[in-house]
């Protein structure tokens, strides 16, 4: 595991920078989650590399959230304006939402990796035929 230098904690004057970073990460995570939800009924539109990259990127983001949490915790013990206090509270809530969305992305990506195009192509004809018939009989058209 690579050794990282210790974090450089920011003064409260950098609150807009931290806020923009967290808001941007949350916006990107919510977009990615929506895209994965669209692929859920047809995971074969995804390939192993795409799903693997999603897992890698969002696992790294999840593992780095402690930096933002610690920065906000450090600010919470300081004196600052009412507007800054409200913004720290708002962004703390957004950070918690980001943690939830990332967890949902990782869970969904883990589910989707079992049905990627490579996984479908690796199945033999009999297995694919049986799956098709089972889906067809259940009323779910696999080609939708």
pLDDT at 84 over 70: yes
**pLDDT, tens digit, for every residue of 3-42?**
778 899 999 999 999 999 999 999 999 999 999 999 988 8
- Using the structure block, give the residue that is written with the tokens 């600010």: 75
Q: Would you state the pLDDT for residue 5?
A: 84
How would residue 144 be classed by pLDDT, with cut points 50, 70 and 90? very low
Q: Would you state the pLDDT for residue 141?
A: 47
Task: Compute the 3-state secondary structure of the chain and give helix, strand, coil in percent, each to the nearest 5.
Answer: 80, 0, 20
DSSP E strands in the chain: the ranges are: none
Mean pLDDT confidence for 70-92: 93
Q: Would you state the pLDDT for residue 136?
A: 63
Domain limits, the chain: 16-116
Closest by CA position to 91, among listed 69, 58, 63: 69
**pLDDT, tens digit, for every residue of 96-129?**
999 999 999 999 999 888 877 665 565 566 665 6
Output the pTM of the full model.
Answer: 0.79
CA dist., res. 140 & res. 143, Å (int): 9
Q: Would you state the pLDDT for residue 23?
A: 98
Mean pLDDT confidence for 61-67: 97
């Amino acid at each position: 595991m690579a050794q990282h230098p210790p974090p450089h904690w920011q003064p409260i004057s950098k609150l807009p920078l931290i806020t923009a970073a967290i808001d941007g990460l949350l916006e990107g995570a919510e977009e990615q989650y929506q895209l994965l939800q669209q692929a859920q009924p047809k995971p074969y539109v995804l390939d192993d590399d795409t799903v693997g990259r999603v897992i890698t990127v969002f696992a790294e983001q999840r593992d780095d959230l402690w930096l933002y949490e610690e920065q906000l915790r450090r600010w919470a013990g300081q004196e600052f304006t009412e507007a800054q206090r409200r913004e720290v509270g708002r962004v703390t809530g957004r950070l918690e939402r980001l943690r939830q969305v990332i967890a949902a992305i990782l869970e969904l990506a883990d589910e989707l990796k079992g049905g990627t195009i490579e996984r479908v192509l690796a199945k033999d004809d009999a297995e694919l035929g049986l799956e098709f018939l089972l889906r067809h009989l259940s009323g779910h058209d696999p080609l939708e």
